Amino acid sequence: MNFGAIKAIYRNEMARFFRTLAQSFLSPVLSTSLYFVVFGAAIGSRIQEVEGVSYGAFIVPGLIMLSVITQAISNASFGIYFPKFIGTIYELLSAPVSFLEIVIGYVGAAATKALFIGVVILGTASLFVDLSIQHPFAMLAFLVLTCISFSLMGFIIGIWAGNFEQLQLVPLLVITPLIFLGGSFYSISMLPPIWQTITLFNPVVYLISGFRWAFFGMADVPVGLSLLAIAGFTALCLGVIWWIFKTGWKIRS
């Protein structure tokens, strides 16, 4: 394992993040505050509690997942697409660096950035509502696994994308709707039975449900299924990335 190469890639990606630290810090704070104003004031006045948890606190795990998933995908996709765009990826591919080391460097940096955003949002949310985390280690585990798995997905999107518009295509048209329809701001038990069944086909439901369980001890689906879902998604992304580097799809032509 070439740890020097991993460190170089990781530090280069993190340097880009720290150059815009104020923007990276301010944006999630403002967006989280806005969500609390809109959902907390408008909807929270009508829905006081959800399964014994105040609505303001109930939406916190969903807010964190919304930002973490989108940030992980965005950072990882741009991180690998930009070297493709300017042509430096060929220097990386010709260097004595394995595909695993490349993935660890780029995905590790993207996951770190997303984790930072998640912590910032958690701190911001605590200013608006009283939060109690029943299972802090499980919460951290779900957060880290989500950052890693969706950074892997973003890495795949960055390799697939042919232009900057395509970098936003999947997050905007697929991921964001799945997050909003995955119980970010409501419990799926509040839906009619037919829609509860349909919602269970949304993979994001299992992530948000498991993450919310770590906070409040309540979940829409069993926690074991949540862990299985995120493990399966991570394995799938790793398999796709392995195939991409084995065949050279979209990176050697």
Contacts of 195 (CB under 8 A, 6+ apart): 188
- What's residue 40's pLDDT? 64
Q: What one-letter code names the amino acid at 186? A: Y
pLDDT at residue 236 is higher than 70: yes
Whether residue 47 contacts residue 127, with contact meaning beta carbons closer than 8 Å, is answered with: no
Tokens found for residue 167: 């970098």
pLDDT band at 222 (very low <50, low <70, confident <90, very high): very high
Give burial (CB, 10 Å; 0-12/13-18/19+) of 2.
middle
- What's residue 44's pLDDT? 57
Tokens found for residue 103: 């993935």
Tokens 């949540």 locate to: 226
Percent of the chain with pLDDT over 70: 94
pLDDT band at 34 (very low <50, low <70, confident <90, very high): confident
Compute the average pLDDT of residues 192-197. Answer: 90
Distances (CA, A) of 154 to 108, 158, 160: 12, 6, 10
Choose among 121, 130, 96, 116: nearest CA to 4: 96
Q: How many angstroms separate the CA atoms of 14 and 109, rounded?
A: 6
Contacts of 80 (CB under 8 A, 6+ apart): 89, 106, 155, 158, 159
pLDDT tens digits along 110-152? 999 999 989 988 888 888 888 889 999 999 999 999 999 999 9
pLDDT tens digits along 242-251? 999 888 888 8
Give the end-to-end CA distance of the chain in Å, rounded to a whole number. 27
- Domain positions in the chain are 3-247
- What are 124-128's contacts with CB under 8 Å, separation 24+? 124/28, 124/29, 124/32, 124/33, 125/32, 125/36, 125/60, 125/63, 125/64, 128/33, 128/36, 128/40, 128/56
